[in-house]
Amino acid sequence: MPATYNTVTEPQNDPPPYLVPHSREPIRLLYRDSDVLIVDKPTLLLSVPGRHPLNRDCLLHRLAHRYAEVHAVHRLDLDTSGVMVIPRHRTALSGLARQFQERRIDKTYMARVAGSVEDDEGEVDLPLIPDWPNRPKQRVCRESGKPALTRWRVLERCNDSSLIELSPITGRSHQLRIHMSEIGHPILGCDFYAPDAALRAAPRLMLHATRLRFRHPLSGHLLTAQSPPPALFAAL
């Protein structure tokens, strides 16, 4: 009689997948031509589809319902709102990707951070590396991190918080969140790098991509798109 074996299934200890809330806010179209779209992404909408099948809803998929061919050349975090450029064909994608790689695209963000920032302006130059045990977080690593530079300027101080303008020279993941946290002024509503008090001080991540300036990938004309931060940024 042939031997028989019992198969033992090991318990799975993986945490359940994170399911993204489905944002009901509309995508606002700021500019359109045959080569590019410029849009205002709402908070709590992925830029590109997530890995889990239930996280497929995203900016790119929603736009694809109206436009035959769209591509992702950069991203905003799920919680971050604001201006994004979307190439409409491969040639536009290539031209914009080159500008991002060569750091020829100017990006400006608004953020409300915890505390009254003492200086009027400054910069944070701290290299970043993935924090593998705590993915998708990043962390500062002076030995082997990739260069990351952020310039900032205070616009307003009130109610133990500051409204600041952020200009990332590099484009590392979570760069603005980490850099502000590292200088003692975490972005309000940040669930990754802010202490509990700063996290609870706002109903959302108080980070908004307010301006994007770049050369049109085909004509070479300078384009500037702007989106003011939500009224909530001034109300806290």
Residues 6+ apart with CB under 8 A from 100: 73, 74, 171
How far is residue 29's CA from residue 50's CA, in Å, rounded to a whole number?
23
Residue 96 backbone class (left: φ over 0; alpha: ψ -120 to 50; beta: rest): alpha
Can 35 be counted among the known catalytic residues? Answer: no
Q: Which of 35, 40, 77, 131 is catalytic?
A: 77
Three-state SS for 206?
coil
Q: Concatenated DSSP letters for 94-148?
A: HHHHHHHHTT-SEEEEEEEEES--SSSEEEEE--EEE-GGGTT-EEE-TTTPBP-
Among all residues, which ones are annotated catalytic?
A: 77
